[in-house]
Chains A and B, each alone.
Chain A
Amino acid sequence: MEISPWILFWASIFTSNILLTNFLGMCSYLSVSREVESSFGLGTAVFFVTTATTAINWAVYHLIIVPADIVYLQYIIFIIVIAAFVQLTEIIVERFSPVLYYSLGIFLPLITVNCAILGISLFMVIRDYSFIQSVGFGAGSGLGWLLAIMLLAGIRTRLKEKFIPTGLQGAGMSLLITGIMALAFMGFSGIVNVQ
């Protein structure tokens, strides 16, 4: 079935949020969600990189990988493309916007190893999306990731003054909250199914 890229965009934010349904991109999600401000910085950077790398990887996949019959190398190639793209973004941002560089720049290297970004490129291949669909899916997933990390950061800021049993402090509590958030997001799943 041909899904409209617009629906794909909204669906990947809410009904099949990459973080809350696939649990991808957990490492930076757990470590950078202490403050709303820095999680917004990282989330924005992820949004930008997912949108762009999904588009680039679609082109690389359909113009190089498939014709050359090297699908088994797609993992390595996708990672190389993502890493190079992040590097280039870092250089460009540093040149043209030092302020953005200092608020975003420290998060950019973290993104290279964010599995959500590789995951989005791989889903795009498995689900056989067209170029426009891929861009909608990439942008939506990036925004979804931004939404999820900001929600967690908001909750964690409020939890700072609350009593949490020693064994649950830190990652334990964050994982529990993420689980409950995932359950809550299941409420959206009746709207549209893109899996």
Chain B
Amino acid sequence: MNYQKIITEILILAGISGVLATLIVVAKAILQNYGECVIDINGKRKVTVKGGGSLLTSLAEENIFVPSACGGKGSCGACKCVVTDGGGPVLPTEKPFFDAKELAANYRLACQVKVKNDIKIEIPEEIFNIRKFNGKVAKIEDFTYDIKGVTFDLISPKEIDFKAGQYVQLRSPKYGKVRESVTRAYSISSKPSLQNQIQLIIRRVPEGICTTWVHDFLKEGQEVEITGPYGDFFIRDTQADIIFVAGGSGKAPIKSMLEDLAEKGCNRKMSYFFGAKTTKDLYLTKYIESFCDVFPDFTYYPILSHPEPDDNWQGRTGWIMPYFPDALRDPKNTEAYLCGSPGMIAAVTKNLMELGIPEDKIYYDSFV
């Protein structure tokens, strides 16, 4: 055996691999190093970040949380923002989320834009109010067989400032067989004046990563990560009549709105339609009805679509929509606030418009 030959050959092979690996490392160091970049936000605030990351994560490191439901995969389109300078060309992954008007107005997805040089962006001022909170589960209540109310104490920061109707994002960690950590959006159901605590109402979604975690794994005392508040679903400050429509866990933002209005005082005419299948799906009924004594003109309409004979249900049945005219006094001067599944929101919006409520007075959160 010729040991010298073997060793030389191994060295040559290692040498070739070494040279190529060095080339790649050098190319990465030179080409993927964008140095420090300045992000100019609304022309008012400047933050300096390390280049190379996405706009979404770079901003998050500076504690500016642009809404994102998918966590930066480019699939939800929630992180829309305006990039006026330095964003580079619009990528094929972004195009499906914008129409021609938005493209012309420099709309981009923050998760797809990479910060490679100084960049100028425009985001709504409210986003500065969004923070990451560490919270602790204070209480878990069973509202129905598949809906739980979870109350969190906020640890740091200790207080949250939000408008009744807004939502937060809850992060579920890796658990059991689930190998990824996800964030999901849930409306806050507690009142804004209670600043050191928030309550979420969470319905179990079959096979849902986050809801299964909440229903089967989350325990009182456990620490969680919450970001928020997000959204423009809140009561407009007018004197118009109000119609609330909710289904399932959609009661959450409306509970918060009612508690907030009760504290501030409100004489507007309000009607609240809640759609459920059977009496098993009804919850907080007594509590919502107690608002009849608080407000001068408040009516609660729980409506069951499929009441069972043992339910002994004496109330309204069927679809919720035929009952809307009972509550309508002056459609042109009525605001509607909806929360529920996308299908329910589409159907109700269409119906309310047919009844004469202007489209721009119908407000809802669309959770997809």
Contacts and interface: CB of A to CB of B under 8 A. Distances in A.
Interface in B26-53: 27-28, 31-32
B267 interface: no
Contacts of B205: none
A84 B24 contact: yes
B176 interface: no
A63 to B, nearest CB: 11
B126 interface: no
A95 B9 CA distance: 36
A87 B22 CA distance: 12
Interface stretch (A96-104, A113-121, A128-136, A146-154): A96-104
Contacts of B88: 98
B193 interface: no
Contacts of A92: 27, 31
Given A91-B28, A98-B114, A99-B91, A70 B12 contact: yes
A191 interface: no
A60 B13 CA distance: 11
Contacts of A76: 13
B93 interface: yes
B17 A87 contact: no
A94 B21 CA distance: 18
Nearest to B93: A102
B91 A84 contact: no
Given A70-B9, A98-B88, A99-B91, A64 B16 contact: yes
Contact of B23 (A88, A95, A98, A102): A88
A68 interface: yes
Main secondary structure of the interface of B (DSSP, over half): helix
Interface string A106-127: 0000000000000000000000
- Size band of the A side of the interface? 20 to 34
B19 to A, nearest CB: 9
Interface in A55-86: 60, 64, 68, 70, 73, 76-77, 80-81, 84
A147 B77 CA distance: 37
B32 A91 contact: yes
A73 B114 contact: no
A81 B20 CA distance: 7
B96 interface: no
A87 B24 contact: yes
Contacts of B4: none
Contacts of B8: 68
Contacts of A88: 23-24, 27
B343 interface: no
Interface string B77-94: 000000000001101110
A77 B19 CA distance: 12
A77 B16 contact: yes
Contacts of A77: 13, 16
Interface of B: 8-9, 12-13, 16-17, 20-21, 23-24, 27-28, 31-32, 88-89, 91-93, 114
Given A64-B12, A94-B31, A99-B92, 4 more contacts: A68-B9, A77-B16, A88-B24, A95-B32
18 contacts: A60-B16, A64-B16, A68-B8, A68-B12, A70-B13, A73-B12, A77-B13, A77-B16, A80-B16, A84-B21, A84-B23, A91-B24, A92-B27, A94-B31, A94-B32, A98-B88, A98-B91, A102-B91
